[in-house]
Amino acid sequence: MSTPPPSPVVYWDHGVSGVIIYLAHVAISATMPNMDLGSFLAAIMADWVALMSGIASVLLTIIGIAKKWERIPSWAFWLAATVCFFIASGRVWTTEHRALLQADTKLDQLTKPKFEVVLGPAMAGYDGPKGVTYWLPMVRIINHQAPSAILGWKAHYKSLTLDQDVPPVLIANRLTIPSAAGSFIYDPEDNIAFTRGVIAQGDFRDGRLPIAIPGDKTMELSNGDAAITITVVDYLKQEQSAEFRGKLQEPSILGVFPKEGLTAKPPVGKHEVK
């Protein structure tokens, strides 16, 4: 029997996108195979009859000739019938179990999303007044299975000086992050945390995901001495993660999104967020 879709509450709490995904999952689930007890017993009987009229009859005939039976003893008939019944039961169960596993696998592919998190180049800048380092990686979410949407984000920072969860932040204003080679300009319209709507199978979303890290961690990040794990949560509350353990990129070689910008002129003074 195929697995029913999750409770509609899982989806409906998240508006129109959730309703669309739920209805799609219900429609797909209804097409999956569903064998009841009557059909299962009928399949056993059909296989039992085939065995009794086939291999069992041949064996009983050969044994009867060898034993010079004038007719097959009742005990031999019932023994063959019992053996054939258990063989038929095992064969039907194995066939249906294999079909169920295949159906469940197909159902998972059609009704459960499978996000992949891909992390690209990142920039970071220290905000002295707030005492936090803003780390801004490029993030792409690819959906390999059923349509779904992003429910939330998590992040974890680990280095010799800090090991804790760090919050993705919804920065609503533009930021300028200086470096020795120029400045990177972040725009909130490219924040992937603002992404809404259904991500279809095979589709993707990408953007920048600002992370607020306590203290000045620009040196650790510049030297590649820290690992940051980014986790995305889908509508079924499944989590997929990717780890960033690389060095920061200079603006001159950093990929940018349409609303972002680069300035080639090196800034004057300490490299802090403006």
Give the model confidence (pLDDT) of 115-137 as tens digits: 999 998 888 888 888 899 989 89
81 Cα distance to chain centroid: 49
Q: Is the pLDDT of residue 268 over 90?
A: no
pLDDT, tens digit, 9 for 90 and up, residues 137-154: 989 999 998 888 898 999
More confident residue, 175 or 117: 117
Which of these, 141, 139, 138, 137, lies nearest to 116 by C-alpha position? 141
End-to-end CA distance of the chain: 59
Classify 115-263 by CATH class: mainly beta
What single letter denotes the amino acid at residue 131? G
pLDDT reported for residue 182: 65
- Confidence class for position 160, pLDDT limits 50, 70, 90: very high
Q: Strand, helix or coil at 119?
A: strand
More confident residue, 105 or 253: 105
Rounded to whole angstroms, the Cα distance separating 70 from 64 reads 8
| CB burial of residue 96 (10 Å; 0-12, 13-18, 19+) | middle
- Confidence class for position 162, pLDDT limits 50, 70, 90: very high
pLDDT, tens digit, 9 for 90 and up, residues 200-225: 889 999 899 999 999 999 889 888 89
Q: Is the pLDDT of residue 186 over 80?
A: yes
pLDDT-above-90 percentage for the chain: 20
The residue whose two tokens read 């690819």 is 142
Query: Residue 103 has which token pair?
Result: 């159906």
Which of these, 84, 77, 8, lies nearest to 46 by C-alpha position? 84
Rounded to whole angstroms, the Cα distance separating 128 from 126 reads 6
Give domain limits for the chain.
Answer: 37-111, 115-263
Contact (Cβ atoms closer than 8 angstroms) between residue 99 and residue 129: no
pLDDT, tens digit, 9 for 90 and up, residues 225-236: 999 999 999 988
pLDDT reported for residue 1: 46
Q: Is the pLDDT of residue 44 over 90?
A: no
Rounded to whole angstroms, the Cα distance separating 229 from 157 reads 7
Claim: this prediction has a pTM higher than 0.85: no
Rounded to whole angstroms, the Cα distance separating 190 from 207 reads 5
Query: Residue 213 has which token pair?
Result: 């890290």
pLDDT, tens digit, 9 for 90 and up, residues 54-86: 776 667 667 767 766 767 677 777 777 788 787
More confident residue, 177 or 221: 221
Contact (Cβ atoms closer than 8 angstroms) between residue 221 and residue 124: yes
What single letter denotes the amino acid at residue 261? G
Rounded to whole angstroms, the Cα distance separating 136 from 120 reads 10
pLDDT, tens digit, 9 for 90 and up, residues 248-258: 665 544 556 76
Rounded to whole angstroms, the Cα distance separating 3 from 25 reads 11
The residue whose two tokens read 């990408």 is 206
Q: Where are the alpha helices (DSSP H) in 150-242?
A: 218-223
pLDDT reported for residue 172: 81
